[in-house]
Amino acid sequence: MKQAAENTPVVEMRNIKKSFGAVQALCGVDLVLHHNEVLGLVGDNAAGKSTLMKVLSGAYIPDGGDIFIEGEKAHLSNPLDARRLGIEMVYQDYALANNLDVAANVFMGREVVRIKLGPIGVMDYRHMEQETQSLLSRLKIDIPSVRQKVERLSGGQRQAVAIARATAFDAKVIIMDEPTAALSVSAIDKVLELVRELKAQGSSIIVISHRLEDIYQVSDRMIVLRQGRKVSDTSVEGDIHEFRERVVAYMIGARDDFTEKTVA
């Protein structure tokens, strides 16, 4: 039974459709994410990447299709439903409160209450700080103090805090939307190392990125979307130059693995 559970995808999306007025953003997209896998999601602007992930994270309700989490059909009507099922999304803008410290951001919306007197609660700051420090240490995130306000952190450190928050409550799936956008080279390297560390600890991760080098470095498999359709679903392999040329060919329509006719 354990082997069967491990072989069941952690996420399976079947024939997902989504329209906004006359614009069909997703035209029957399938996606499978396996346990302990990093899946790169690639495509040009308006290809449907973020829309597909917002469906998985509960932010959008699809017009058609089914979602299965570890083999069980899931009904996601809002982000809280997705979070209850262990799906967390790290947005491009980090969604952090700059005026709060690191620990407060990690536990935002999930604060630990030490004493509750009717409608009034006293938060257990010490417990939250200890848990945050333990989390950062486990993920090998270097931040001087969990009491430091987020507004004083670098872009790379803020991204690390956002990722740490997503993993703090036993997430099964972590979705990262452009995690290295607008970061320095050194900060990009640290974020990619954090992705590798999460995988080493058993996480399943979906990375949306325009930076093909990032997808090449950390992903096991890659899905390419074009105009709301899946045009490729392959392992990440070969050298970086061949990989980049292959992805670009899918993105511009020169290749399509899911049609009978392939443009030469």
Residue 143 pLDDT more than 60?
yes
139 in a domain, yes or no?
no
What pLDDT is stored for residue 2 in this prediction?
46
13 in a domain, yes or no?
yes
Residue 234 pLDDT more than 50?
yes
State which residues form the domain around 191.
Answer: 2-95+171-252
Question: Among 165, 159, 163, which residue's Cα sits nearest to residue 131?
Answer: 165
**96, 158 Cβ separation under 8 angstroms:** yes
Q: What is the mean pLDDT of residues 181-200?
A: 91
What pLDDT is stored for residue 258 in this prediction?
87
Residue 3 pLDDT more than 80?
no
What pLDDT is stored for residue 1 in this prediction?
41
141 in a domain, yes or no?
no
Q: What is the mean pLDDT of residues 237-262?
A: 87
124 in a domain, yes or no?
no
145 in a domain, yes or no?
no
Tell whether the torsion through CA atoms of 51, 55, 60 and 63 is positive or negative.
positive
pLDDT tens digits, one per residue of 67-111: 999 999 999 999 999 999 999 999 887 789 999 999 999 998 888
What pLDDT is stored for residue 5 in this prediction?
56
115 in a domain, yes or no?
no
Residue 250 pLDDT more than 80?
yes
| Residue 226: CA count within 13 A, CB half-sphere | 17
176 in a domain, yes or no?
yes
Q: What is the CATH number of the domain that holds 72?
A: 3.40.50.300
Q: How many residues in total does the chain contain?
A: 264
Q: How confident is the model at residue 183 (pLDDT cuts 50, 70, 90)?
A: confident
What pLDDT is stored for residue 6 in this prediction?
62
Quote the CA–CA distance of 134 and 131 in Å, as a whole number: 5
154 in a domain, yes or no?
no
Percent of the chain with pLDDT over 90: 77
* Domains: count for the chain: 1
27 residue type, one letter: C
